[in-house]
Chains A and B, each alone.
Chain A
Amino acid sequence: MRASGLNPSRIVSDIWRHRYLIGQLIKRDVLLRYRGAMFGVFWIFLSPLLMLAIFAFIFGQVFQTRWPAQNNGPPFWLLLYSGLITFNIFAETVSRAPASVRGYPSYVKKIIFPVHILPVVPLGVALVHGAFNFLILVAALAWVGGLHSHLVLFPLLLLPVLLLALGLSWFVAAWGVFIKDMTQILPVFVQMLMFLSPVFYPISAVPAALRPIYHYNPLGIVIEASRAVVIGQAIDWSAWAMALGFCLVVSVLGYAFFQHSREEFADAL
């Protein structure tokens, strides 16, 4: 493994250099998904809106669920939704990562292409969707009267999750080239992770004996922090900083692993 691959600033400059290409690939991916549909790109807005409506109906009207240890502020379904925004960015990126390189054999074998940016594309697409989800969250919060100035921190708080998703994507994309089963394994893994992360419940609701595990889950820390700004509570910055450090390491290792194994891609595909 070359030492240069472990340099974070090199990763940033490498991605920055190809920003236009990445932008084009993301645009293509997003447009391609909705091309030919009757509502077209409106679905990018429509589908989270429908999901939120269902949440509001089930958890607001049918179950009348309340967030544990919370008396006022946004309703349960909005808190659930805010956690899901964070989680979905991670989930969408990582579940698509195994196919991000494998799905484009001609980019690997037939043209001269910076293959290492391919796993960045699912993250970009997930961020586009995340941005629309966030807009809907802001609108819904304004509607229920829970809009908070802290909310501007929400996108910033996602940084560790983005790094984690990116790092794992590089790992998984490289494995995905050699092991086709990754495309099957990852969605199951992600589903499991959803229930193991505090998306549907706060960490405080977890039995005390298990709680330390949750404190080491960077995904959980970020979800908690982002939910805190929605409610207007204080953020555990030290935990967040630790998560950021951990995720940074994951992304650098993921990048290095990807660059190390890419030489074999063309042979394996």
Chain B
Amino acid sequence: MHSDVVISVKNLTKTYRIFSHPGDRIKQALTLGRVHFHQEFTALKDVSFEIKKGETVGIIGRNGAGKSTLLQLICGILKATNGTVQANGRIVALLELGAGFNPEFTGRENVYFQGALMGFTKAQMDERFDGIADFAEIGEFMEQPVRTYSSGMFVRLAFSTAMHLTPEILVVDEALAVGDAGFQKKCFDRIDAVRERGGVVLLVSHSMEQIAHHCDRAILLEGGTVAFAGKPTEAIHRYMALFNGPRDQECAIGNVQDFSTDDKLMNRPSYNPAETRWGDRKSTILDACLVQNGIEDPPFLILGVRTELKFWSICHVDSEKLVFGLAIKSRTGAMVLATNSRFLLGPGEPLKQMAGTKLCTSFFFTPFFEPGDYLVSIGVTSEMGTGLLAHDRRYDAIILNLRAPQPNDENSNASLSCRVDVIQAPAAIGR
């Protein structure tokens, strides 16, 4: 085994014995296991992979694919039926929100207790406590029983505590689904810090955005076996295909050309090379730019000036009900604008297109955000039932630099759209 391999899983199999009646377990034990009273359920079959230092690995799959069983085996909570798991380093696991927290005790008491669970002494926890409290941002609730917490506060405290226990292997199972965008951003910053220290992060999530964004690699589990392991975008792509019929799957993986061909967006000055991209590629985005005052790709946008976001896409197969989306978020992850063509155009004629058609989509908006850097995400999807099926989503593909209008800027109509009045109030008000 190489020294930089942190987790090594070999031919891992987990079979649960299911007893229909608790007495059956005793009967079987009394016969020394010669007579079988149980049924078997195999949750994992012959799973093998290695995770090296500094990797963040996403684990995706449908419900019941064996994700949680795999994590529990890696943590040593479950015993493997066959095969081996080797994990070198201190494992901090967030398998269930607030497991090990006692609702009757205060946040502070629970933090110290969590520390004790991981083998930290009181003195070591004293050092960490302020950091935990600052990160969790729950203020005076720290001294209140945990049962009075909202689920958001709960997850903040649990995550904050876990992150301050200096994990070498961090295992997170769906725990980040709660918590607002700002907090999630903070968490992922910490996760990235773990990775930079040479630690390993294992992330189970149903949020493909998180997987695509933060993982170096993804493992797709299906029916207890590894269906795919490799690039996150590819894993997500195959995962999404699992929800369609076999014919669609073939089409999705087979006929469609690679993303990178004909991509002009990459050469734009506003392009963000750290974008993440995924979808089934039935349509792809070829190019995009921001336009303000008739200038394409200006070095910065001026606050309060009408802006156009244009993007060109091509349909590779006949498409019905196309939906184009736009989202703008701040560097800290707060969404400031999110909309799509279905919402803006209303329930009119669906955007139906033949294979080979190129489309140009323009969103018009007036940025009234605080000056600073923003990340623009664009996407082409199709309406499927109540949800959207992603063809090509490009997260954080464009960097938008917003500036306050200077007195000598022309065309600035910020003062027309936003106004302030300061008048003296009658004496009776404000007492």
Measuring CB to CB, which residues of chain A are less than 8 angstroms from any residue of chain B? 20-21, 24, 28, 32, 35, 106-113, 178-180, 263-264, 266-268
Contact = CB atoms under 8 A, between A and B. Distances in A.
A112 B76 contact: yes
B112 A32 contact: no
B113 A20 contact: no
A109 B121 contact: no
A24 B116 contact: yes
B358 interface: no
Given A112-B76, A179-B26, A28 B117 contact: no
Nearest to B91: A112
B68 to A, nearest CB: 10
B25 A268 contact: yes
Contacts of A109: 72, 77
Contacts of B121: 20
From B22, B104, B117, residue with most partner A Cβ within 10 Å = B117
Nearest to A36: B104
B77 A178 contact: no
A32 B102 contact: yes
22 contacts: A21-B116, A21-B119, A24-B112, A24-B116, A28-B105, A28-B109, A35-B104, A107-B99, A108-B77, A110-B77, A110-B93, A110-B100, A111-B95, A111-B99, A111-B117, A112-B77, A112-B93, A112-B117, A178-B22, A178-B26, A266-B77, A266-B78
Nearest to B75: A112
| Interface of A, helix, strand, loop or mixed by DSSP | helix
Contacts of A32: 102, 104-105
Nearest to A18: B119
B79 interface: yes
Interface string B87-98: 000010101100
Contacts of B112: 24
A20 B124 CA distance: 12
A107, A108, A267 pick with most chain B CB within 10 angstroms? A267
Contacts of A112: 75-77, 91, 93, 117
Q: Counting chain B CB atoms within 10 Å of each CB, which of A24, A107, A111, A264 scores highest?
A: A111
Interface string B252-278: 000000000000000000000000000
Q: How large is the interface on B (under 10, 10 to 19, 20 to 34, 35 or more residues)?
A: 20 to 34
Given A21-B119, A24-B113, A110-B95, 10 more contacts: A20-B116, A20-B122, A21-B116, A106-B96, A106-B99, A107-B99, A110-B93, A111-B95, A112-B75, A268-B25
B99 A110 contact: yes
A267 B102 contact: no
Contacts of B369: none
A266 B117 contact: no
A180 B25 CA distance: 12
A268 B109 CA distance: 30
Interface in B111-127: 112-113, 116-117, 119, 121-122
B122 A111 contact: no
A178 B96 contact: no
B49 interface: no
Contact of B100 (A106, A264, A267): A106
Contact of B22 (A20, A110, A113, A180): A180
A112 B99 CA distance: 10
B16 interface: yes
A113 B100 contact: yes
Interface in B19-71: 22, 25-26
A131 to B, nearest CB: 22
A113 B117 contact: yes
B17 interface: yes
A263 B95 contact: no
Contacts of B78: 266-267
B33 to A, nearest CB: 12
A111 B77 CA distance: 7
Given A24-B116, A111-B93, A267 B26 contact: no
B72 A266 contact: yes
A109 B105 CA distance: 21
Contact of B16 (A107, A111, A263, A267): A267
Contacts of A268: 25
A250 B17 CA distance: 30
Given A179-B26, A268-B25, A110 B16 contact: no
Contact of A263 (B22, B79, B117): B79
Contacts of B117: 21, 111-113
A28 B113 CA distance: 9
Contacts of A179: 22, 26
A159 B178 CA distance: 50
A111 B94 CA distance: 8
B118 to A, nearest CB: 8
Nearest to A113: B117
A90 B203 CA distance: 45
Contacts of A113: 100, 117
B103 to A, nearest CB: 10
Nearest to A24: B116
A170 B323 CA distance: 62
